[in-house]
Amino acid sequence: MRIGDSGGMPAPVRIGAAAGWRGCAARTVPFLIVFAAAATLAGCRRRAPDAEILRATRPAADGRYASAGTEDGGAASARRLLADAFPRPCRISYRAIMTVVGRRFALTGLLAVGSHGSARLVALDTFGRKAFDVLLLKGDGAVPIEAGPGFDRVWIASYPARDVRCLFLTDPSGFCFEGVTPEGKIVMAKGGTGGAMAGYVVPPDGRAPVRFEIVRSGRLVYSAEMYGFRSFAGSPGLSPETVRAVSDGYSVEMTILDITAGPQPDALFEPPAAGGGGG
């Protein structure tokens, strides 16, 4: 049985209709409902933590964290950290553990990020076989190129593609200072339509994880953490060594092995011809 199997879907299938992080906030087809129900029946569903971006308040001028709200204070440092986290364009090699309703998959692979908002994610299983291959289009949508044993084409265009769009393709420069949490964490946020809001939560000391959250109608619908910021030989700034994302019935922990900044071949970001792709 494939993860997220919905029957024979024609290839390629284009999923999503919202640009940037808004595509992450969009409802990701009914598989989320199926996974959440299965996790509940299995007794393994956990309540998502409260959204930190909703706890931010503007610091008073004489308050403890007043300087965090100024561009020469913590907000400026947070902005620089986010801007340097992932260069564009670049190529990233990684290994990952993906868990879907209790099933664990050990993966390795490559992520190519283009200079104009497109990306290509390739994952291999422990036997070196292609687990999945998905192309993220500029602005919105994803085209599943190939789905290996255990994966469904529509599912890979929804969940792994969503993680890439949220964490590697979202441009943090458009996020504005929202406020400071009671612990002094700086919140940079951006609103959307339909009551959706996305935001970064950056610790003042740089030791705790940087969080990325999406909230819809006051409910946390997506969260991810980036931590272990360090320099990579092929990248000009500090990038997280580990990225962890979680939603109902699904989680992934990615360890970044290498980042190489620079242009990527245009062929990587071209959709396959009609009838192409595997799975």
Task: Report which of 1, 4, 2 is spatially closest to residue 158, judged by C-alpha positions.
Answer: 4
Domains: count for the chain: 1
Which domain, by its residues, includes 257?
Answer: 22-262
pLDDT of residue 216: 92
**Is the separation of the CB atoms in 195 and 217 below 8 Å?**
yes
Residue-wise pLDDT tens digits, 169-208: 999 988 999 888 988 899 999 988 778 999 999 998 767 8
The SS3 of residue 126 is: coil
The SS3 of residue 16 is: coil
pLDDT of residue 77: 84
pLDDT of residue 63: 63
pLDDT of residue 29: 36
Structure tokens that stand for 100 in this block: 């879907």
User: Has residue 272 been placed in a domain?
Assistant: no
DSSP state, residue 165: I
pLDDT of residue 140: 81
User: Has residue 159 been placed in a domain?
Assistant: yes
User: What is the number of H-type helices and E-type strands within the chain?
Assistant: 5, 14
pLDDT of residue 74: 74
Indicate the length of the chain as a whole number. 279
User: Has residue 17 been placed in a domain?
Assistant: no
User: Has residue 10 been placed in a domain?
Assistant: no
pLDDT of residue 61: 61
| Rounded Cα–Cα distance for residues 76 and 58 (Å) | 15
pLDDT of residue 110: 98
- Ranges under pLDDT 50 in the chain: 1, 5-19, 27-48
Structure tokens that stand for 80 in this block: 């620089």
Task: Report which of 124, 155, 193 is spatially closest to residue 29, judged by C-alpha positions.
Answer: 155
CATH number at residue 123: 2.50.20.10
CA angle at 185 for the pair 180 and 189, rounded to the nearest 5°: 60
pLDDT of residue 21: 59
User: Has residue 268 been placed in a domain?
Assistant: no
User: Has residue 275 been placed in a domain?
Assistant: no
User: Has residue 81 been placed in a domain?
Assistant: yes
The SS3 of residue 82 is: helix
**Is the four-CA dihedral 102, 99, 247, 49 of positive or negative sign?**
positive
User: Has residue 278 been placed in a domain?
Assistant: no
Provide the terminal-to-terminal Cα distance of the chain, rounded to the nearest Å: 13
Residue-wise pLDDT tens digits, 69-80: 666 567 888 888
Residue-wise pLDDT tens digits, 45-65: 333 458 999 998 877 666 666
